[in-house]
Structure 1
Amino acid sequence: MPFMKGRAPVRRTIEYLEKGAFAFKKNIQIMTIHYNLGHNPSQGLYFFQFWHVPQIQYQNPNVQILTFKNMTPTPFIQFFMDDGRKALVDVYNKSQTEIYDHVKKIFCKSEETLAEEAKARERLVHPANFGYGCSRWCICEIPGQVPCSAFSINDPQLMGKNSWQLEKQKEKEEQENF
């Protein structure tokens, strides 16, 4: 399997990518990472980008991520918002976990927001749900169901509540024919 070659191939597995807790807020468009190779104050950012950038890319496909190596005197991360604002994160001499916690706290959605979005997405997507706030208003919109009585006149045979009356009517007709 060619995807399991190279340094730390676990970074390319679906399980690892889905475990990423980076769901950026909607206004973040671009993330740039600036660090120097072989520079001790940049080691935390190097390991951050090595382990967490694949997860960030997987969780946020609409965010552009750029990495600049050996182009800056000090390591930093810069975020560009959709309204033109910029946010700069100084990561000089910070460890990978400190950077992870700071970026998650400031630029990612909270756990409550993620739970609400997941619940709303589940409610709208599930085909068995219908009514107010769901993807379908009435069960008649699902293929194979009886048409809605609000828009068409259904045959009495299709109505379950009339089936016993139809059976009695057929029995009467059979008795009259004898």
Structure 2
Amino acid sequence: VVESVDDMQKAVSRIHERFEQAALVERFIEGREFTVGIVGNEVLPIMEIDFSSLPDHLETFYSYRVKQFHGDETNYICPAKISRREEKVVSEFSMRVFQVLDLKDYCRIDLKIDDEGNIYFLEVNSLPLLVPDYSDIVKMAETRGWSYEDLIKRIVASAIRRYGLGE
């Protein structure tokens, strides 16, 4: 994240020099950050990732550095404190992304919602980690009342159904 055109030009130059390829420049989206887990055709409880407890010098988005080194200082709110209407819209939006991208069995979709209620798709993780007590989708499944074993069985059952192998 850069704060000025000059900083952007320097960052683009670093990317050109280091990777010898074009740089992707996007507008930073202010807003609350959410992640949505989908297993089979079921949307799990939506999780908000709250950065308000992080040290001031850190970025306020779910970067690799924040997740890997400051996960204990990050607040994971599941289910997210959003209205039923927002929950419905986010769930339907996420399921639509899942279908349009032709994803299978399970995934995690990251998005932001700005102060005006606009939803911005950030990225999809088509094979999110399934590490107990760490992975976001595992936390969402636990909020649904599923054990780790339940989550794994549901992912496998989805694949079995998809291949028409019965259960």
Shared fold per TM-score greater than 0.5: no
- Higher alpha-carbon Rg: 1
TM-score where L is the length of structure 1: 0.20
More strand per residue: 2
